[in-house]
Amino acid sequence: MTTRSLAGAGKPILALGASILAAVLVAGCVSPAATGPGSTSGTPGQTGDAGGAATPSAPTAGFYLRAWQTQALAPQYTFGWLPAATIADGQYIDGQVAIPMIYPGPLYVGPFSSPISAAGIDAIVGEAQADGLLGATTDFAAGLMPGSISAHIEIVVDGVKHELTGTPPTDAAPAKVTPGTPAAFQAFWTKITSLQTWLAADLGPSSAYQPKSMAVMPVQPTAAPSGMTPQVVKWPLSSTFATFGTATGGTRCGVVTGADLALLLPVVQAANALTRFTDSTGASMSLTVRVLVPGETGPCA
């Protein structure tokens, strides 16, 4: 059974595919739970529409927010990092999702979404202003060591975009912070990634987010443990693994939307970390997949 993590703001977001989950469980490496999600530009695949989240109530015009994390690692290790929180078109998308503690785990783990009221959005804007984050200062990453995790917030208020960078909080936010400081950035991060606690009364019912696009990275099949037979399914898209998407770090990566997403999404939702996908040429690959939220282009570098 899929579980949701409502852990603190400094925790990362997990939405891993076959290769990363297998590395965690088999190799015993440090789990991506110690790191966080990033967003880098990618090359789209097919275009189209595949539905959206629930209808919001009276969204505030011109508002957008996304909070995510990055780290200088190879793309396959950061591919599954979802933004911790996204607010677009009056919908709050909670990317803090935990992998079920089973093996093989599911291939697809998606975020949840809830309508957020105009009063809730106003509270977020007011907090950003009180914390001194909507002015000229945008870099709050004082003392960030090379290779460390960076925290990012993109917030659009009345059509004006503010792109902020800082360090993720490691401790509980103090009761009082000085506006325009790294501590203020961290306090704001803590609040926007804990909306179920901070603004619970301003959130509507939560439901599984219906993505409009999904990033896909074919990877070499994961070795199955002795006595376990991997599931084998047909790759449902017309492209082959050799032509899918664009070349990325020794493999290929693409963003699937529209009619292709409608074909692929139910297949990956029924798959697990060991599932083999076979294309029309007979090539067999495993997949790593991850939902894209509004405002990001994808993790295909």
The pLDDT of residue 157 is 96
| pLDDT: which is higher, 92 or 25 | 92
What's the CA gap between 88 and 270, in Å, rounded?
A: 28
Nearest 5°: phi and psi at 21? -65, -40
Residues sharing a CB contact under 8 Å with residue 90, sequence separation 6 or more, in sequence order: 55, 56, 57, 58, 59, 60, 115, 116, 118, 121
The pLDDT of residue 253 is 94
Alpha carbon 129 to chain centroid, angstroms: 26
Quick check: 93 pLDDT over 90? yes
Which pLDDT band, with edges at 50, 70 and 90, does 34 fall under?
very low
| pLDDT: which is higher, 149 or 6 | 149
The pLDDT of residue 248 is 83
Q: What is the pLDDT of residues 132-160, one digit of tens each?
A: 999 999 999 987 777 789 999 999 999 99
Which pLDDT band, with edges at 50, 70 and 90, does 36 fall under?
very low
Q: Which two tokens stand for residue 86?
A: 């996204």
The pLDDT of residue 97 is 83
Quick check: 300 pLDDT over 80? yes
Residues sharing a CB contact under 8 Å with residue 238, sequence separation 6 or more, in sequence order: 280
Average pLDDT, integer, range 248-274: 94
Quick check: 19 pLDDT over 70? no
CA-to-CA separations, 264 to 80, 126, 233, 256, in angstroms, rounded = 17, 41, 11, 8
What's the pTM value of the predicted model, to 2 decimals? Answer: 0.78
Q: Which residues pair with 208 in a beta bridge?
A: 112
- Of the given ranges (27-31, 189-193, 291-295), which has the lowest mean pLDDT? 27-31
> In the predicted model, what is the mean pLDDT of the chain?
81
| pLDDT: which is higher, 281 or 40 | 281
| pLDDT: which is higher, 38 or 294 | 294
